[in-house]
Amino acid sequence: MCGQLKVFWLAVSLMQPSVALSREMGEHLYAEPVPSYLRKFAEDGEKVFVLERFDAGGSLVDRSIERVSGEIIINGAVERRIAGYEIQLRGLTGCPTETVTYNRVQTWTCTDAARDYAGVIYNKRAHVILCKTLMLSTTQGQAIPASCFVLVGGDGEPFRTVNDDDSMVFLGLAEIGKTADGRSRRPDLEHAQSLSKTMEFRNAD
């Protein structure tokens, strides 16, 4: 019996590093994945969309992987249509002002700025698009609240992860929503929103 227990605990100890590594690589709820995690899904010459669904406890329960044949549609600062899925960046409200300071000096409408920036990332530079959601199932046309991350790079440029949620907030194209009792829906992005206001990316009027 003692020998069996030793074998059991040895097996557990051997499993733990792989679990920790899995979480470090990005396979957990809403964490920004490192580029090496996203590259696991990459296909030569193809753009790939990965949708990961998590339960309330933060465990991955479903993953779908699809090639993207058409353009990703940027309907606004927080709305994306990817491979037939309607995605809405979770906890964010798009376009807090009608116009914004874009590229640090130009005045653009907020929607046009979002389409320009996100369009380049998704349609010209993306190899893998990963969106993570707590919504376990959806019907056709239903928007999925998700955090989205894009693998860009290659051809001599280092691979890196673009955090779409963070980018929209930092550029002043989206702002963090509030709960009914006034709490932040995205405390993880408060710093990005503060920097955005400091650098006057919004309120171009």
Among 46, 78, 80, 82, which residue's Cα sits nearest to residue 64?
82
CB 161 within 8 Å of CB 32: yes
Let me know if 86 is exposed, middle or buried by CB neighbors in 10 A (0-12, 13-18, 19+).
middle
Query: In this model, does residue 22 exceed pLDDT 80?
Result: no
pLDDT band at 12 (very low <50, low <70, confident <90, very high): very low
Neighbours of 145 (CB within 10 A): 16
Query: In this model, does residue 48 exceed pLDDT 80?
Result: yes
Let me know if 77 is exposed, middle or buried by CB neighbors in 10 A (0-12, 13-18, 19+).
buried
Strands 47-54 and 128-133, bridge-based pairing = parallel
Q: What CA–CA distances, in Å, run from 131 to 17, 38, 57, 85, 146?
A: 25, 11, 18, 11, 6
Query: In this model, does residue 205 exceed pLDDT 80?
Result: no
Return the exposure string of 20-31: e unless at least 16 CB atoms fall within 10 Å of the residue's CB, then b: eeeeebbbbbbb
- Rounded Cα gap, residues 62 and 135, in angstroms: 10
CATH number for the domain running over 30-198? 2.40.50
Structure token pair of residue 198:
């400091």
The residues, any chain, with a CB within 8 Å of residue 158's CB and separated by 6 or more, are 35
> What one-character-per-residue DSSP string does 69-91 give?
-SPPEE-SSSEEEETTEEEEETT
How is the chain split among helix, strand and coil, in percent rounded to 5? 30, 35, 35
Half-sphere exposure of 57 (CA within 13 A, CB side): 3
pLDDT band at 196 (very low <50, low <70, confident <90, very high): confident
Q: Which helix (H) or strand (E) holds 35?
A: helix 35-39
Classified as helix, coil or strand, 195 is helix
Structure token pair of residue 2:
């003692």
Q: What is the mean pLDDT of residues 169-198?
A: 91
pLDDT tens digit string along 96-138? 999 998 988 899 999 999 999 999 999 999 999 999 999 999 8
- Among 13-17, 26-30, 58-62, 147-151, which stretch is predicted with the lowest mean pLDDT? 13-17
- Rounded Cα gap, residues 78 and 89, in angstroms: 5
